[in-house]
């Protein structure tokens, strides 16, 4: 595949490239290669959504241990399972019960922001961008604003370097140019109450003046949102960003982020005419730090800013087709809305600072939805997605499909955030694809066939209009599902809370057969709650994936014990040897 563009990114200037990709709303893969290794950043409609890195310190297990979400032993056990099953580490952590869907989502968000922040502040890299929407079908979609990555890179710098930086460039003039639309939206999300277009207004505007304007027009709550306790993952107290900054400190962060991403550029006209402070003694360069300038220092940053005008990045071309709100499917439209829809002010501010995990809640249905999403989204096997075998009859496939469909419908009635809507739409699309691959001739429910006789109904289509799902009639089977002969029996009474506790304990232990035994009796003649439906579907999927020797482990153990006993008898008892032989 030929890349859309390729360029050399100088140190500290990846944020500028990410911002240009965001303005073009490109979708695909950004491949970054340097002497330190290789990173792949997946982009959807201009927003970074996922990343892979060849560096060990940026792998999921290392990030999870560093933030205290998982232990080293948990990672080692998950790595063993992932190697056996050929799956990703995150999915293995889910299956072993070391994390739930919410914790893994937070961990993936922390990994994404760490990789992008390191890329924004690291050495020069070779960049290639490939327009490849298909590469996003097997990765989780997380909303990361390009400016959030630049801000994180600034926050990781030592505070002393911030002070030196403003002493060096505080009185430098800036170019009078409007801020990009993406940057203006990001500042509004953070709580900037002024006009972003007027931030650089005035021919004598300096870096110090921009910082003063930010201090004057930022909401008071913005400073509270920068408090480390608002972070979705624990922050090490030894890190530079572990202390809550004051109003001036927040403005310092934002000013440096605007400079690093190229939204605000230094003018080559020197200092302001009214400035009494001397200019910096650091000579301008061609855009790369001098050989004696260390990374994450004021000298290296100023050298990069001075060279931005002399060595601009190559222009990012437009792609032939870019995603829009009117996507080709309900899933595409939901993902686009998740990435570009405005949030409630406090949620928007925290997402602009801390990344995609800042909008998570501990609602059980959302945690179950994320668990299912992070398990099934990367699953390559259609049979494993529905928890069936490829040899199963259409009735079994239909029953498994409708179990998932029921859970997604009930989740869509309870959850209304852009995050939840996107996850529901993606899952609906995935189970639709699995059903069509396993049983393409499966007859749809009769009530829907009359409205659309040529197109089988899909879960994605049913969920694209949440208001209609609530009043939709219960679907009827064209083929009787398994257990239909017992459905005429009256349902037995059961203690829902006690059953849920038992099922949860068996799920954590990985006793999938026991989960089926607990849920199956109460599912006769009644609709299961969403949590039990999900647990049953997961158990059926896991049992279908397990090899025969794991399902019959007990009988193999018994046969082995009998063989040992028989060998012992034949060796030490002649009478037994004569009798058996």
- Burial status of residue 511 (CB atoms within 10 A of its CB: 0-12, 13-18, 19 or more): middle
Rounded distance between C-alpha atoms, residue 70 and residue 544, angstroms: 28
- Burial status of residue 572 (CB atoms within 10 A of its CB: 0-12, 13-18, 19 or more): exposed
- Burial status of residue 485 (CB atoms within 10 A of its CB: 0-12, 13-18, 19 or more): exposed
Q: Extract the tokens encoding 260.
A: 């690093």
In the predicted model, what is the mean pLDDT of residues 22-48? 93
Q: Please check the confidence at residue 103 and state whether its pLDDT lies above 80.
A: yes
Q: Please check the confidence at residue 338 and state whether its pLDDT lies above 90.
A: yes
Confidence (pLDDT) at 395: 83
Q: Please check the confidence at residue 442 and state whether its pLDDT lies above 80.
A: no
Sign of CA dihedral 99, 101, 105, 106: negative
- Of 258-272, 276-290, 395-409, 419-433, the one with minimum mean pLDDT is 276-290
Sign of CA dihedral 181, 185, 190, 191: positive
Q: Extract the tokens encoding 332.
A: 């595409």
pLDDT bracket for residue 151 (50, 70, 90): very high
- Of 48-57, 323-332, 340-349, 416-425, the one with minimum mean pLDDT is 323-332
In the predicted model, what is the mean pLDDT of residues 323-336? 75
pLDDT digits (tens, 9 = 90+) for 494-532: 567 777 777 777 777 777 777 887 877 776 656 667 677
pLDDT bracket for residue 306 (50, 70, 90): low
pLDDT bracket for residue 288 (50, 70, 90): very low
Confidence (pLDDT) at 449: 29
Q: Extract the tokens encoding 142.
A: 């997380």
Q: Please check the confidence at residue 240 and state whether its pLDDT lies above 80.
A: no
Confidence (pLDDT) at 291: 42
Q: Quickly count: other Cβ atoms within 10 Å of residue 151's Cβ.
A: 30
Q: Which residues does residue 20 pair with via DSSP β-bridges, in sequence order?
A: none
Q: Please check the confidence at residue 341 and state whether its pLDDT lies above 50.
A: yes
Greatest mean pLDDT range, 2-11, 472-481, 491-500? 2-11
Confidence (pLDDT) at 357: 92
- Asked whether the beta carbons of 499 and 506 are under 8 A apart, the reply is no
Sign of CA dihedral 522, 509, 386, 101: positive
With H, G, I as helix, E, B as strand and everything else as coil, classify residue 172: strand
Confidence (pLDDT) at 267: 80
In the predicted model, what is the mean pLDDT of residues 392-409? 87
Confidence (pLDDT) at 508: 72
Q: Please check the confidence at residue 366 and state whether its pLDDT lies above 80.
A: yes
Confidence (pLDDT) at 89: 92
In the predicted model, what is the mean pLDDT of residues 176-198? 91
Spell out the domain ranges in the chain: 5-145, 148-310, 361-545, 551-580
In the predicted model, what is the mean pLDDT of residues 350-377? 92
Confidence (pLDDT) at 293: 45
Q: Please check the confidence at residue 565 and state whether its pLDDT lies above 90.
A: no
Please, what is the angle between helix 146-155 and helix 14-24, to 10°? 160
**Percentage of residues in the chain having pLDDT higher than 70:** 73
Rounded distance between C-alpha atoms, residue 49 and residue 136, angstroms: 9
Greatest mean pLDDT range, 7-11, 291-295, 351-355, 399-403? 351-355
Confidence (pLDDT) at 298: 59
Rounded distance between C-alpha atoms, residue 336 and residue 425, angstroms: 11
Instruction: Provide the mean pLDDT of the chain.
Output: 78
Q: What is the DSSP letter of 553?
A: H
**DSSP letter for each residue of 18-53:** HHHHHHHT--EEEEEEETTEEEEEEEETTEEEEEEE
**Percentage of residues in the chain having pLDDT higher than 90:** 36
Rounded distance between C-alpha atoms, residue 427 and residue 412, angstroms: 12
Confidence (pLDDT) at 48: 96
**DSSP letter for each residue of 397-420:** HHHHHHHHHHHHHHHHHH--SHHH
Q: Extract the tokens encoding 284.
A: 């301008």
E strand intervals along 145-292: 172-174, 266-271
- Burial status of residue 13 (CB atoms within 10 A of its CB: 0-12, 13-18, 19 or more): buried
Q: Please check the confidence at residue 462 and state whether its pLDDT lies above 50.
A: no
With H, G, I as helix, E, B as strand and everything else as coil, classify residue 63: helix
Q: Extract the tokens encoding 491.
A: 């349902």
Query: Which of 215, 213, 211 lies closest to 171 in space, CA to CA?
Result: 211
Q: Please check the confidence at residue 580 and state whether its pLDDT lies above 60.
A: no
Cα–chain-centroid distance for residue 118? 18
Residue bearing the bigger pLDDT, 533 or 575: 533
């Amino acid at each position: 595949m030929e890349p859309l563009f390729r360029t050399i990114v100088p140190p500290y200037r990846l944020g500028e490239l990410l911002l240009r990709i965001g303005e073009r709303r490109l979708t695909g893969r950004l491949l970054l290669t340097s002497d330190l290794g290789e990173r792949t950043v997946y982009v959807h409609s201009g927003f970074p959504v996922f990343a892979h890195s060849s560096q060990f310190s940026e792998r999921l297990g290392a990030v999870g241990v560093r933030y205290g979400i998982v232990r080293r032993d948990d990672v080692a056990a998950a790595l063993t399972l992932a190697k056996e099953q050929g799956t990703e580490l995150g999915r293995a952590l889910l299956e072993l019960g070391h994390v739930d869907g919410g914790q893994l989502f937070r961990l993936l968000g922390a990994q994404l922001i760490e990789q992008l922040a390191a890329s924004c502040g690291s050495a020069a890299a070779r960049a290639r961008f490939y327009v490849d929407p298909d590469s996003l079908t097997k990765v989780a979609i997380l909303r990361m604003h390009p400016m959030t990555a630049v801000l994180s890179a600034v926050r990781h710098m030592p505070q002393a370097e911030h002070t030196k930086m403003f002493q060096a460039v505080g009185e430098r003039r800036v170019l009078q140019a409007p801020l990009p639309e993406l940057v203006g939206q990001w500042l509004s999300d953070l709580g900037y109450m002024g006009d972003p277009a007027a931030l650089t207004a005035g021919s004598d505007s300096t870096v110090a003046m921009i910082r003063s304007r930010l201090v004057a027009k930022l909401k008071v709550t913005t400073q509270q949102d920068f408090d480390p306790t608002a972070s979705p993952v624990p922050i090490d107290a030894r890190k530079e960003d572990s202390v809550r900054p004051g109003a001036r400190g927040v403005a310092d962060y934002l000013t440096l982020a605007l400079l690093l991403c190229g939204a605000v550029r230094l003018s080559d006209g020197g200092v302001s005419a009214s400035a009494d402070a001397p200019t910096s003694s650091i000579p301008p360069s061609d855009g790369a730090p001098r050989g004696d300038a260390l990374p994450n220092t004021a000298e290296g940053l100023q050298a990069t800013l001075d060279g931005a005008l002399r060595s601009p990045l190559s222009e990012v071309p437009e792609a032939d087709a870019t995603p829009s709100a009117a996507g080709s499917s309900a899933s595409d439209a939901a993902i686009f809305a998740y990435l570009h829809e405005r949030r409630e002010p406090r949620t928007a501010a925290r997402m602009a600072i801390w990344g995609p995990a800042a909008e998570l809640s501990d609602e059980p249905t959302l945690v179950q939805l994320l668990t299912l999403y992070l398990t099934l989204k990367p699953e390559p096997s259609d049979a494993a997605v529905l928890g069936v075998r490829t040899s199963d009859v259409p009735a079994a496939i239909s029953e498994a499909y409708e179990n998932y469909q029921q859970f997604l419908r009930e989740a869509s009635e309870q959850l209304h955030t852009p995050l939840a809507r996107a996850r529901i739409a993606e899952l609906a699309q995935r189970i639709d694809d699995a059903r069509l691959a396993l049983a393409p001739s499966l007859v749809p429910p009769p009530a829907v066939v009359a409205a659309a006789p040529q197109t089988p109904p899909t879960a994605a289509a049913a969920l694209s209009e949440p208001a209609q799902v609530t009043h939709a009639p219960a679907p009827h089977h064209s083929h009787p599902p398994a257990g239909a002969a017992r459905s005429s029996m009256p349902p037995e009474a059961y203690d829902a809370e006690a059953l849920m506790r038992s099922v949860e304990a068996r799920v954590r232990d990985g006793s999938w057969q026991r989960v089926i035994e607990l849920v199956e009796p109460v599912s006769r003649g009644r609709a299961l709650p969403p949590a039990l439906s999900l647990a049953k579907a997961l158990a059926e999927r896991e049992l279908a994936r397990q090899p025969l020797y794991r399902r019959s482990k007990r009988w193999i153990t018994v046969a082995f014990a009998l063989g040992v006993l028989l060998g012992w008898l034949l060796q030490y008892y002649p009478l037994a040897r004569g009798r058996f032989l």
